[in-house]
Amino acid sequence: MAGEAGVNFFSISGSEFVEMFVGVGASRVRDLFKLAKQTAPAIIFVDEIDAVGRVRGAGAGGGNDEREQTLNQILVEMDGFEPNEKVIVMAATNRPDVLDPALLRPGRFDRRVTLDLPDRGDREEILKIHSKTKPFAEDVNLAIVAERTPGFSGADLYSLMNEAAILAAREDRTKVSQYDLIRSIEKVMLGPERRSHILSKKEKEITAYHEAGHALVASVLPFADPVHKISIISRGRAAGYTLKLPLEDRKLQSRREFLDDIAMSLGGYVAEKMIFGDLTTGPSNDLQVATALARDMVTKYGMSESMGPVALEGQGGQALFGRGVNDKEYSEVVGAKIDAEVSKIMTDARTKAENILTDYRNVLDIISRRLIDVETIEREEYEEILVANGIAPKKKEDLNLQETSVL
């Protein structure tokens, strides 16, 4: 912006204002604004302004806290009483919820620009930028890579391109192929493969049934995302993974989609219990994610029939001694009702998963045996197994029909 406007540009990080000695940060703010005014017109950019711009009065340092003094000085400099000063102040933060209200009033930071994650078209354009210096093979199709990367930021896409180039270089190839790009998606999402982490025969069987349970439940439920890949090769901290991606980007999620997602998350838990009559520590992360989603449905999104359209929890409380503290605005009785409703959602989801895996037990066995043999099943092979056993794979047309029926 400064380049287009042809004005001077000053950049500083919010953390540079914070010092042990009270008054140093405020002095730096005065010096910065004095310099900007001398060279006006100018733009000042403060990165990570939440380092000094947090709500006052929440800390334990009292009124003479260094950070509060610095914030007060910023507020004074931006008071708006000097209309002839041609200085524009811009700032960036990924925590706008913790900023002091005085910073956000008209006359100070009165324009808020939210940078969302890129959609599919944007991702393709970003990939083109990061691919300018990369030698590509003839089979590379960036549109497919953009389709398979919902939720990726620009930094994730940059990392994806670098990982693909590294994979090609490791195999002594001079060009990056589509196969490298597809593999690098999982590397960015889940971490590198841990080939050294060798599972015992029993663990391999348990992991195969666990992941097959996830995939089968997701494929049968109408509102769950389609499965793109199943693997029992360790990545990061996961012994195996089921990669499911939406057919197209979406900004809104419905109650039915949430319920199907929770049932899919419990697919591995149910499969382990059904096949082996015992449970392992494998489903622990699935249970955490599913329970958090069920609680959000009840307390944030008003998706509980018994609780009704009430938001019972905010976006997060204040931080005290490094831990989050939520001010509960409901009674113990309502808290017990919330717990009961969360438990009901989880129980219903488990029943749904149990019914699917019981009805399609033969398909569960087929997928699991195939996983044990080859360790990884790609989408094409997986859909062939589904079709052979009378399960129709999800297509984009099905998604449009679902949206019509929901609306």
Q: Where are the strands (E) in 310-365, listed by range?
A: 318-320, 323-325
Question: Annotated active-site positions, please?
Answer: 211
Q: N- to C-terminal Cα distance for the chain? A: 42
Contacts of 81 (CB under 8 A, 6+ apart): none
Q: Where are the strands (E) in 22-107, listed by range?
A: 42-47, 87-92
Q: Are the C-beta atoms of residues 257 and 277 closer than 8 Å to each other?
A: no
Phi, psi of 263 (to 5 degrees): -60, -40
**Which residue in the block uniquely carries the two structure tokens 């910073």?**
103
Q: Are the C-beta atoms of residues 22 and 69 closer than 8 Å to each other?
A: yes
Cα 223 to Cα 250: distance, rounded to the nearest angstrom: 13
Phi, psi of 282 (to 5 degrees): -55, -45
Which pair of tokens denotes residue 318? 């204040």
Which pair of tokens denotes residue 107? 């006359």
Helix (H) or strand (E) holding 217: helix 201-220
Q: Are the C-beta atoms of residues 394 and 215 closer than 8 Å to each other?
A: no
